[in-house]
Structure 1
């Protein structure tokens, strides 16, 4: 096991390096010049070039990349061009808000999606299954920003039940206030996640119900409830582990659109503002943190595979 983990970690190093190269190249190919945000009408051409030199943007692109890579290997992700603060400090400051929102949405999504999927699979092509399937297709199809705006209009503007944006009310410092602000964005993410997860888990559950061991359990007198929740559910855990592994990156990157719609002060809104502000160091920082967490998530998922299913002895 230790050798396999070490092998996967070593394999992830060239992958992360490749991601950094592609991301850095795409950022440099994007239109726009971050120096323009520092330029005022009274500045001369010499002043503009001085700013460009101070930001290190007058160097060749390859040189800029290797300077960035050297600093990252030393734990320095650079300084934000728009916030004028260390990138790592900005990321760590926004991280708790994103983890709280994305973690809550992921937990609620699994709690809702797993029983719904098992029930839908056990009633394949019946009214309940069709109803759950229709709701899932709606959740997959509608844009998250539109759904978020609709929730704001109904519950914040019309009913005045919940706040429409932000994470805290000015002058209020309580946990319940944070919960109230997080209900709407969490509802958006949960509904979309449940719609995606339920289709995936349902298909896996249906395939398990067609296996021979299910018929053998029925032959031994097992009830349908026992077969579903003691045997089928256990064999559906593998795709659930895959979902959890793939969700590690979201816990860092956040939901860009949803956090922006609700002005949630997380990594997603930071990423959107960085893209519009051409804040290259922050964009690279968020990209590399997300990529690293995705690699870690896949590694953890592979380890859990062997725990859940002892037949899996080696990691892929």
Structure 2
């Protein structure tokens, strides 16, 4: 019962945040230079065209009425129309979002797979030379800009060694993307590098905290082997803060995808956002912002739910 109430409250909070996001995006739409009509029709639109557009779209009505209409269009999946691509924003995002999700999920998995055992390994060897070396390398990886790292990988693995292509898989469907898995290697590695640095540090800190707990000392006094203590007890408890941080890392993943997709010409939502920014295609920009914001809220909610499942000791008050 307590878990059900916790999940219900978190769901209501997530819905409230999403509503606030729609308010922010609505305000951004009306803050465009010359208003939404000028931003959508372009600088060459005449006053008569702008007036006709405002009347057709209901932009000459009071703002509260416009916001209700805006919410209604969102609920119907209408994010506006791209005036440079002459297509519905929702259709463009629907085509590009799955490919961005594939890239971000693969990058997250490629980053977490070494980060978790690496963090535990560092905790066991705390303050030893190996720990200091890995920490220094982690700081270098974390502080290296994604764009520079991607260029470095391209230079080494496509120009010098010639192991991988410099361009990510092309195509409008996921099957076309997966048809060339070798071309996914460099984009995934570029997105995963910072995750290894960040989450190995989180895992190291969480492992050190759990190694100092009473249950570890009790298990040691009972004769349990260090490896059994580490993997049967400390591992699961140390995952809780890492899972929580993963939900908050969603916007970072999408932000990194924007750079990676532009760098490797990967046809995902990040490249769509970049192209829209180059052409001042405001409907596409705001549609992408809305989708990424909602994805962040959902990611945080899922992280809280998984955290609750992994560690039932997490109380409902911790949100």
Q: Match of 1:255, SS?
A: helix
- 2:129 corresponds in structure 1 to 127
Post-superposition offset of 1:265:
0.9
SS at match of 1:236: helix
Instruction: Please say if residues 169 and 177 of structure 2, whose CA atoms lie closer than 8 Å, have aligned partners that are also in contact.
Output: no
Match among 120, 142, 145 for residue 143 of structure 1: 145
Could you tell me the TM-score, scaled by structure 1's length? 0.85
Contact 2:40–2:281 (CA<8 Å) still a contact in 1?
A: no
CA contact (8 A) 2:40 2:283 kept: no
Q: Is there any run of 5+ residues in structure 2 with no aligned partner, and where?
A: none
Distance 2:316 2:195 in 1: 30
Q: What number of residue pairs does the alignment pair up? A: 310
Partner of 2:161: 159
8 Å Cα contact 2:14-2:298 kept in structure 1: no
Task: Pick from 269, 274, 277 the counterpart of residue 275 of structure 1.
Answer: 277
Structure 1 pair 131–251 and aligned structure 2 pair: CA distance change class (3 A): closer
**Residue range with higher mean Cα deviation, 114-123 or 54-63:** 54-63
Matches within 5 A, 1:218-297: 218-248=220-250, 255-297=257-299
- Alignment correspondent of 2:217: 215
Answer whether contact 2:203 2:242 (CA < 8 A) is retained: yes
**Mapping 1:156-195, distance limit 5 Å:** 156-168=158-170, 178-195=180-197
Query: Which runs of 5 or more structure 1 residues have no equivalent in the other structure?
Result: none
Shift of 1:83: 1.4
Query: How far is 1:153 from its partner?
Result: 1.4
- Relative distance call for 1:87 and 1:174 in structure 2 (3 A) is closer
| Residue in structure 2 matched with residue 117 of structure 1 by the alignment | 119
CA, structure 1 residues 223+288, in 2 after alignment: closer, same or farther (shift >3 Å)? same
C-alpha contact 1:35 1:48 (8 A) present in aligned 2: no
Q: Residues 295 and 35 (structure 1 numbering): CA distance in 2 closer, same or farther, change over 3 Å? A: closer
Quote the residue 1:309 is aligned against. Answer: 311
Q: Distance in 2 between matches of 1:244 and 1:35?
A: 36
- CA distance in 2 between counterparts of 1:192 and 1:25 reads 33
Between the aligned partners of 1:123 and 1:309, the Cα distance in structure 2 is 26
Q: Is the aligned partner of 1:34 residue 2:30?
A: no
Q: 2:217, 2:176 → 1: CA distance?
A: 54
Relative to structure 1, the CA distance from residue 254 to residue 139 in structure 2 (aligned partners, 3 Å threshold; closer, same or farther) is closer
Give yes or no for contact 2:33–2:39 (8 Å, CA) kept in 1. no
TM-score (norm 2): 0.84
